[in-house]
């Protein structure tokens, strides 16, 4: 335990130093200095680590929250830069590999599709929503082209300029253009529209604070169709310095059955949570209690943090089962 504490302290110190350097930058637009700092940050956060970012000191928590905002801003600048670059080609889709992290989206989209097929058997989605699609909607493009060739995709982003850039990417592909729609809207303002989707994907940076993410999930739970699937991107371990961590319990409280949690240990940064909207009758039977179906399967390669998380979930499930049986 002492060795782990030393390891965690050294990691937090290293990340805090990178945060200080990034915060001093006059611009987060792509440049050799910006690229080098964020590369170093990712390299520090990707290896397996015993750190639990939810238990950091208040100062470290504030640093982490600010760092996630900086990462979000930098990611936005990077996507705008490459969206404009790709738009200059006759067929932008032929050049998506120029984006330095395109392979990550290929692997993440395959992971999400495989998890959906495994944990939502019989799913054959005809209409999909991606919330927080941005100017480079790689996830929708990869899913549409490689895994769900018959589905329609509605991409939502609050930024109209981002949607304008995204539309340019599919302009030369008639088939994909007919299946891809882009809508400028805040998910909080979507109600009846959400009922038509078989699957809703929630981007990692939609609702960066835990309470904001929980509100988004609860809103989806009120308006999605019963039985529809929800795919939520999260983070685990030190990767929680790059992206927000989503508590599966917040998803449950939002009206969903959490089917699986996956924490990658490779170049895929985001964790994936697969859930399904509970029908109104089942939700009424729960009467505000947590689910009593057994612990959520953590289907990723095991690590100490995963084992502790699984044990905690199991205890909560046992308590919920006891309460429901009284």
300 has pLDDT over 70 = no
Tokens of 144: 């549409």
DSSP bridge partners of 156: 131, 183
Q: What is the pLDDT of residue 4?
A: 76
Burial annotation 150-178 (CB, 10 A radius, 16+ → b, else e): ebbbbbbbeeeebbebbbebbeebeebee
Q: What is the pTM of this model?
A: 0.86
Q: Find the helix packing angle between 2-23 and 58-87, rounded to 10°.
A: 50
Whether the Cβ atoms of residue 204 and residue 245 lie closer than 8 Å to each other: no
Tokens of 160: 């109209």
Q: What is the pLDDT of residue 285?
A: 45
Q: What is the tens place of the pLDDT at every residue in 8-27? A: 999 999 999 999 999 999 99
Q: Find the helix packing angle between 32-45 and 58-87, rounded to 10°.
A: 130
Give percent of the chain above pLDDT 70.
85
Q: What is the pLDDT of residue 320?
A: 46
Q: What is the tens place of the pLDDT at every residue in 254-293? A: 999 999 999 998 889 999 999 999 986 555 545 444 444 4
Q: What is the pLDDT of residue 318?
A: 52
| CA separation for the pair 168, 158 (Å, rounded) | 17
134 Rama sector, left if φ>0, alpha if ψ -120 to 50, beta otherwise: left
For the chain, the maximum distance between any two Cα atoms, rounded to a whole number of angstroms, is 66
In sequence order, the 6+-apart residues with CB closer than 8 A to the CB of 251 are 217, 230, 232, 258, 273, 275
Select from 204, 202, 212, 209 the least CA-distant residue to 268.
204
Q: What is the CA radius of gyration of the chain?
A: 20
Residue 68 host element (H or E): helix 58-87
The mean pLDDT of the chain is 88
Question: May I ask the CATH architecture of the domain 1-285+293-318?
Answer: 3-Layer(aba) Sandwich (3.40)
Q: What is the pLDDT of residue 295?
A: 60
307 has pLDDT over 50 = no
Other residues' Cβ atoms within 10 Å of the Cβ of residue 76: 18
305 has pLDDT over 80 = no
Confidence of residue 44 (pLDDT cuts 50, 70, 90): very high
| CA separation for the pair 20, 51 (Å, rounded) | 20
- Quote the strand ranges of the chain, DSSP E: 127-131, 152-157, 180-184, 199-202, 229-234, 256-262, 271-277
- Average pLDDT on 37-47 reads 96
Domain spans, the chain: 1-285+293-318
Give percent of the chain above pLDDT 90.
79
39 has pLDDT over 90 = yes
Whether the Cβ atoms of residue 54 and residue 3 lie closer than 8 Å to each other: no
Select from 21, 17, 45 the least CA-distant residue to 35.
21
- Average pLDDT on 139-161 reads 96
């Amino acid at each position: 335990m002492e060795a782990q504490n030393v390891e965690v302290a050294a990691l937090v110190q290293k990340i805090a130093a990178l945060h200080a350097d990034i915060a001093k930058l006059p611009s987060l637009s792509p440049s050799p200095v910006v690229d080098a700092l964020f590369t170093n940050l990712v390299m520090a956060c990707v290896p397996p680590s015993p750190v639990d970012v939810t238990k950091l000191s208040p100062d470290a928590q504030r640093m982490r929250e600010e760092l996630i905002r900086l990462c979000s801003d930098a990611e936005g600048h990077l996507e705008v830069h490459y969206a404009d670059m790709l738009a200059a080609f006759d067929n932008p889709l032929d050049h998506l590999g120029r984006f330095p992290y395109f392979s990550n989206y290929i692997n993440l989209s395959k992971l999400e599709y495989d998890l959906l097929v495994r944990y939502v058997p019989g799913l054959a989605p005809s209409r999909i929503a991606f919330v927080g699609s941005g100017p480079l909607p790689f996830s929708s493009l990869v899913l549409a082209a490689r895994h769900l060739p018959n589905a329609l995709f509605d991409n939502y982003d609050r930024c109209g300029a981002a949607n304008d850039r995204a539309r340019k990417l599919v302009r030369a592909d008639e088939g994909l253009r007919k299946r891809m729609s882009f809508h400028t809207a805040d998910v909080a303002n979507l109600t009846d529209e959400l009922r038509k989707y078989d699957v809703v994907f929630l981007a990692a940076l939609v609702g960066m604070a835990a309470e904001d993410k929980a509100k988004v999930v609860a809103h989806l739970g009120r308006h999605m169709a019963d039985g529809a699937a929800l795919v939520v991107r999260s983070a685990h371990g030190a990767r929680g310095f790059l992206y927000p961590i989503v508590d599966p319990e917040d998803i449950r409280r939002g009206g969903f059955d959490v089917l699986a949690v996956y924490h990658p240990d490779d170049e895929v940064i985001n964790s994936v949570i697969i859930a399904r909207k509970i029908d109104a009758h089942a939700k009424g039977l729960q009467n505000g209690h947590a689910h009593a179906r057994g612990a959520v399967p953590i289907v990723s390669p095991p690590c100490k943090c995963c084992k502790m998380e699984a044990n905690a979930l199991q205890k909560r499930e046992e308590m919920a089962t006891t309460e429901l049986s009284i």
